[in-house]
Amino acid sequence: MRTKLLIFFLLAVLQTATVSAIIPNPSRFTHCSGEFVIDANTTLSWDEELRDAAIYLLEYLPLRHFAQTGNGTNSIRLSIDSSLPAEGCALRIDTDRITLSGGSYGGVFNGIQSLLQLLPAQVYAKSLHLPVSVGCCEAVDAPRFDYRGLSLDVARTWIPADRVKRYIDLLACHKINKLHFHLTDDEGWRIELKSHPEFARTGGFRGGDSPVHPRYAKFDEKWGGYYTQRELRDIVEYARIRNIEVIPEIDMPGHSKALGAIRHDILCDFVPDTARTNGLDIRNVWCAAKESNYALIDDIIREVSTIFTSKYIHIGGDEVDMSQWRKCPDCQRLKREKGLNSEKQIEDYFIARVTAILAKYGKVPAVWNEAVDGGTLPKATRVHGWQSIKHCLRAVEKGYPTIVMPGAYFYFDMKQSANEAGHTWAAIFDAKKVLSFDLDRNGFTERHLAKVAGLEASFFSEIYIEHSPEKSDYLDYMLFPRLCAFAEVAWSSRKRNWDDFHSSLVTDHYDRMQAMGIAFRLCTPNVKYADGMLSASTDDGAVIYYTDERNGKRTRYTAPFPCDAPEHFAFCSEYGSAGSCTTGSKEYLRMLTPQVTVTSSMTCSAKNPIENAATYSNKIARTTRAAHAGDWIAYSFAEPMSCRKIEVQTGHIHLRRCLFLAGHVEISEDGKTFVRAAELHNGGAVICPDKPLTAIRIVADGNSDAEDNVVIQSLKIK
């Protein structure tokens, strides 16, 4: 197989290639003279095993003449050519016919994607009118990796089946062929089990009367959902037609709070200290010592095995809070009896037991990289290296087939620039950094590469729930165009340059994504203030708008304009359904850092002292307990402070945790008399004071969330 791929690539580079605007870019693309006209009489024919691919193509291309065989004039022929690599394809557009062959169904499907991208963008809106002409060319292509995936967390934020199918469509258009489906976590259990229907019926919802606690946003409502087995089978089949394999993940032994809230018996037997967490039991790890747990896991795996056709089931293994095993007399007994040296070895034991259950049902485990730290798992175990490139290299060195997915390049829940939504723990990055990913430059030798099964992008959804999760906009924005760049690096190892990629993105792919209905992210406009003139530009031709935040008036930007208060003008750009983040001149973005003293009714930990909240850095202060009604946090300024806007926030910097669930903000001009200025929402509020302030106080109107501390942040003053 490898030799076949090598010969194929050698032949490919020996030919003169020209560049196409196809994303991901084919390894060999040659423009030829002339064009083929697809019209009402064009006949589509296919090899029998390509029937589903043909029907898929017909969703986009409104042809009305079909044949089972033949490749006459005015025809499009889909066929298998077993001399090609499995997912390889050869697409030839001549003046009188189109021939598209692939090494397998997947290869033909990939060729169909190249063909669609050669057609006008409205093909993606399924509104193409015939006749349409397409330039003659030849594209010969095969992917570098068999595994080109996206991991989607539907556990933290629920995404219904029809929207998952939409993402499957969007992945397919980018030749991404795996969906790693993160179905369970602390915040939800999304998969119907006939043997334990209560897992999904109860665990699919958090908040309200559900025992599953609402951890991130929508605190005062019951919210969620789950997939029935029928829906899941439908998703698997929908994906199969689109050359996508769905790999389910049941995250164990950690990340299991939702299930533990329904089935306390899976947890370790010790009395949790709930006094500091407003009564909530925050245990989330399966007890490794209970035989009943392995019987329950058998039930789960038996059903999951029948729903998903993938050979793999991802069984988690990440971020296990080992302190729970340390406190558990049963786990400690297990450790002694089995001669285990550490809690880490308890994890090895647990994963080995689950692996044996998987084997019983003909499945192979996939795990997060922590699970192979011990190196004792069978070498067929597939490892998803998420923590860093080093962790991926380590897994590869140990001989495990590894999916490379370092957060700093491929976690699309990270912010794309400093002033946008998202996490920052791995990195802040946009599509340009994704495109720069290079295994060779990161120390992967030929020997390492032989063990790299592929690449994966991911979206974890902790904060999606606070961004109108009933719609796709936030997810679209976080995924695209980063996923386009990902598709490119997962497809080939060609040397790339951002300017060329960006150019094909803007000139061709923007319109395709538009027609696909994606609310993708545009480059942030560049805004400048100089000599009393405010000006803005973009490098992608999108339309720029600006808003005067004093009166809310929104205007289309056409040319620099005179302005004496640039700090009030917010800019953004739009291109149909796509948009940029809001930005402005440096005067607009400037933050004030007046001298402030922070005090609280709650004491703070020595490690994260209250003074941290006075530094205007991202240092946080942590209290030593949860909050109750009447608790307060006060910010007193050394001098009366004038500003345009103050953002007040309790809780973690990016996650709605360790916060005041209910509360209000009071402001004071003289430091003595306070007036109520805003109610907290998700632990925060925005105040636009019209007079200089001397103090601000955040007051709790009820308990904080179920964590053992409250996080106090600096004010953000604009």
The minimum distance between CB 211 and Zn ion, in angstroms, equals 20
When the beta carbons of 269 and 318 are compared against ligand ACM, the nearer one is 318
Binding at 200: pick from Zn ion, ligand ACM, none (beta carbon under 5-8 Å per type) = none
* Identity of the residue, 253 or 683, whose beta carbon is nearer to ligand ACM in the bound complex: 253
Q: Give the Å distances, CA to CA, from 585 to 73, 434, 471, 535.
A: 59, 27, 31, 9
Residue 386's binding partner out of Zn ion, ligand ACM, none, with CB under 5 to 8 Å set by partner kind:
ligand ACM
| Cross-strand pairs, 536 | 527
308 binds, among ligand ACM, Zn ion, none (CB under 5 to 8 A by kind): none
Binding to ligand ACM (CB under 6 A) within 433-462 occurs at: 460
**Does 386 engage in binding with ligand ACM (CB under 6 A)?**
yes
Length of the chain: 718
Q: Is 679 one of the binding residues for ligand ACM (CB under 6 A)?
A: no
Q: How far is the CB of 462 from ligand ACM (least distance, A)?
A: 10
DSSP of 578-624, one letter per residue?
EE---B--HHHH--B---EEEEESS-B-SSS-GGGGGSSSS--EEBS
Beta-bridge partner residues of 353: none
287 binds, among Zn ion, ligand ACM, none (CB under 5 to 8 A by kind): Zn ion
373 or 473: CB nearest ligand ACM: 373
Q: How many residues bind Zn ion (CB under 5 A)?
A: 6
> Could you say whether residue 409 binds ligand ACM (CB under 6 A)?
no
HSE, side-chain direction, 13 A CA sphere, residue 385: 24
The position carrying tokens 């423009």 is 31
Applying CB under 5 A, among 52, 94, 146, 330 the residue interacting with Zn ion is 330
- Whole-angstrom distance, CA of residue 464 vs CA of residue 472: 10
For the segment 11-50, give every residue that binds ligand ACM (CB under 6 A): none
| Nearer residue to ligand ACM within complex by CB, 464 or 660 | 464
Gap between the Cα atoms of 124 and 509, Å rounded:
11
Alpha-carbon radius of gyration of the chain: 28
- Residue 368 engages ligand ACM in binding (rule: CB under 6 A): yes
Q: Is 578 in the site for Zn ion (CB under 5 A)?
A: no
Contacted by 318, from ligand ACM, Zn ion, none: CB < 5 to 8 Å by type: ligand ACM
* Minimum CB–partner distance for residue 297 and Zn ion (Å): 14
Query: Which one, 265 or 670, has the nearer CB to Zn ion?
Result: 265
Please give the residues from 501 up to 560 whose contact with ligand ACM meets the rule CB under 6 A.
none
Terminal Cα distance for the chain, rounded: 60
CB 229 within 8 A of CB 196: no
Q: Which is nearer to Zn ion, 327 or 619 (CB)?
A: 327
Cβ count near 680 (within 10 Å): 22
Find out whether 687 and 678 touch, Cβ atoms under 8 Å: yes
Give the three-class secondary structure for 34. strand
Residue 373 binding ligand ACM, by CB under 6 A: no
Q: How far is the CB of 289 from Zn ion (least distance, A)?
A: 5
Calculate the alpha carbon distances from 670 to 501, 639, 644, 693 in Å.
57, 10, 19, 7
Indicate whether 84 belongs to the interface with Zn ion (CB under 5 A): no
Query: Could you tell which of ligand ACM, Zn ion, none binds residue 105, using a CB distance below 5 to 8 A set by kind?
Result: none
CB atoms within 10 A of CB 388: 16
Residue 687, beta-bridge partner list: 646
3-state SS, residue 684: strand
Angle between helices 51-60 and 105-117 (to 10 degrees): 10
CA angle 506, 507, 508 (to 5 degrees): 100
Instruction: Closer to Zn ion by CB, 331 or 452: give it.
Output: 331
Q: How far is the CB of 589 from ligand ACM (least distance, A)?
A: 30
The number of C-alpha atoms within 13 Å of 269 and in the hemisphere containing its C-beta is 9
Q: Give me the residue whose beta carbon is nearest to ligand ACM.
A: 318
Determine if 287 is a binding residue for Zn ion (CB under 5 A).
yes
Least distance (Å) from ligand ACM to the CB of residue 409?
13
Q: Which is nearer to ligand ACM, 124 or 437 (CB)?
A: 437
Distance CA 272, CA 275 (A): 9
In the DSSP assignment, the letter for residue 657 is: -
CA distances from 212 to 145, 200, 450 (A): 39, 11, 43
Residue 325 makes contact with ligand ACM by CB under 6 A: no
For Zn ion, the closer of residues 268 and 313 by Cβ is 268
In the complex with ligand ACM, the residue whose CB is nearer, 166 or 652, is 652
Give the nearest distance from C-beta 328 to Zn ion in angstroms. 3
Beta bridge partners of 534: 529, 561
Residue 139 binding target from Zn ion, ligand ACM, none, CB below 5 to 8 Å by type: none
Number of residues that bind ligand ACM (CB under 6 A): 5
Write the interaction track for Zn ion spanning residues 264-283; mark x where CB under 5 A is met and - where it is not: ----x---------------
Q: Which does 473 bind (CB under 5 to 8 A by kind): ligand ACM, Zn ion, none?
A: none
- Does 410 contact ligand ACM by CB under 6 A? no
Q: Indicate whether 145 belongs to the interface with ligand ACM (CB under 6 A).
A: no
Which one, 350 or 412, has the nearer CB to Zn ion? Answer: 350
Residue 479 in the binding site for Zn ion (CB under 5 A): no
Residue 331, interface with Zn ion (CB under 5 A)? yes
Contacts of 497 (CB under 8 A, 6+ apart): none
CB of 295 to Zn ion, least distance (A): 16
CB 62 within 8 A of CB 84: no
| Distance of closest approach, residue 368 Cβ to ligand ACM, in angstroms | 5
Answer with the entry of Zn ion, ligand ACM, none that 529 interacts with (C-beta below 5 to 8 A by kind): none
Closer Cβ to Zn ion, 302 or 326, answer by number: 326
Give the one residue of 328, 403, 478, 489 binding Zn ion; rule: CB under 5 A: 328
Contact call for residues 27 and 60 (beta carbons, < 8 A): no
Q: Does 318 bind ligand ACM (CB under 6 A)?
A: yes
Rule CB under 6 A: say whether 319 interacts with ligand ACM: yes
Min CB(184)–ligand ACM separation in Å: 13
- Which of 392, 431, 393, 391 minimizes the C-alpha distance to 409? 431
How far apart, in whole angstroms, are the C-alpha atoms of residue 3 and residue 6?
5
Q: Give the position of tokens 């692939």.
A: 102
Instruction: Give yes or no for residue 412 binding ligand ACM (CB under 6 A).
Output: no
- Between 333 and 528, whose beta carbon lies closer to Zn ion? 333
The one-letter code for the residue type at 356 is A
Helix, strand, coil share of the chain (percent; to 5):
30, 25, 45
Cα separation, 651 vs 604, whole angstroms: 14
- The residue to which tokens 């538009």 are assigned: 514
Q: Is residue 371 involved in binding Zn ion (CB under 5 A)?
A: no
* Interaction partner, residue 319 (ligand ACM, Zn ion, none; CB < 5-8 Å by kind): ligand ACM
Residue 536 binds which entry of Zn ion, ligand ACM, none, with Cβ cut-offs from 5 to 8 Å by kind?
none
- Whole-angstrom Cα distance, residue 715 to residue 145? 47
Place of tokens 């109860």: 202
CB of 388 to ligand ACM, least distance (A): 12
Helix (H, G, I), strand (E, B) or coil at 46: strand
Three-class secondary structure of residue 632 per DSSP? strand
Min dist CB 716 to ligand ACM, Å, is 27
Residues that bind ligand ACM (CB under 6 A): 318-319, 368, 386, 460
Residues that bind Zn ion (CB under 5 A): 268, 287, 289, 328, 330-331
